[in-house]
A and B are shown apart, each in its own frame.
Chain A
């Protein structure tokens, strides 16, 4: 059974860089059958797609965040990661990683989410 687990610092100061890792267990990030995605949700609000990466390293980002976002994959560790630079309070949210089977264009497995708070 495939499971995803987010990890990373929960508290950042403005202007710092957010770094999160999603560890995949029971499956492989080197599989050519999936995209690996980051999504976030501010408290009490809706879901925002951040971006995704294919096993080849091809990425796609939300234009609203593109200048600050990098998603990478480490197949040797079975992990993929999110970096978001120059954070502000507006980046405070619950961050999810998720798996998207190619051709399905939907997220069938999600991590439990990790809260990131940006505060001085």
Chain B
């Protein structure tokens, strides 16, 4: 199985901050890497697919980058509604695996 890791498990930030969330896979997944946002008690929401393609309707302050084994989700100016947990997921090979999540909380 491809391992997907997201250190750190949490980070603190303030409204207006630029936030970068890393994700690493144990072997190359090309650009088969997706990002989701999840708020407590809710289903995850797709933000970015294929490493860097913004899902329709997602604000442009979100962006994804990377390829191979190292990826990043960037939020250019954190908004109050962005405090949530973010998961990366590799879709290169089954079993499709998620990172353990990075919780963005208020500083």
Q: Beyond A49-B95, A49-B96, A105-B91, is A96–B49 a contact (Cβ under 8 Å)?
A: no
Q: Who on chain B is nearest to A111 by CB?
A: B43
Contact B95 A62 (CB under 8 A): yes
A107 CB contact (under 8 Å) in B42, B44, B95: B44
Distance A106 CA – B89 CA, assembled complex (angstroms): 8
- Note all chain A residues with C-beta closer than 8 A to B98: 46-49
**B1, B46, B101: residue with the most chain A Cβ atoms closer than 10 Å:** B46
Question: Is the C-beta of A64 less than 8 angstroms from some C-beta in chain B?
Answer: yes
Range class of the B interface residue count = 20 to 34
Q: Is the CB of A63 within 8 A of B95?
A: yes
On whether the beta carbons of B94 and A47 are closer than 8 Å, the reply is: no
A6 to B44, CA, bound (A): 15
In the bound complex, do residue B95 and residue A105 qualify as a contact, i.e. CB atoms below 8 Å apart? no
A residues whose Cβ falls under 8 Å from a Cβ of B? 45-49, 60, 62-64, 96, 98, 104-108, 110-113
Report, nearest first, the 6 A-B pairs whose CB atoms are least far apart: A105-B91, A110-B43, A106-B49, A106-B34, A47-B98, A62-B95
Q: What are 21 sample pairs from A and B whose C-beta atoms fall under 8 A apart?
A: A46-B98, A47-B87, A47-B101, A49-B94, A49-B95, A60-B94, A62-B94, A64-B95, A104-B49, A104-B50, A105-B32, A105-B34, A105-B49, A105-B91, A106-B50, A106-B89, A107-B36, A110-B44, A110-B45, A111-B43, A112-B43
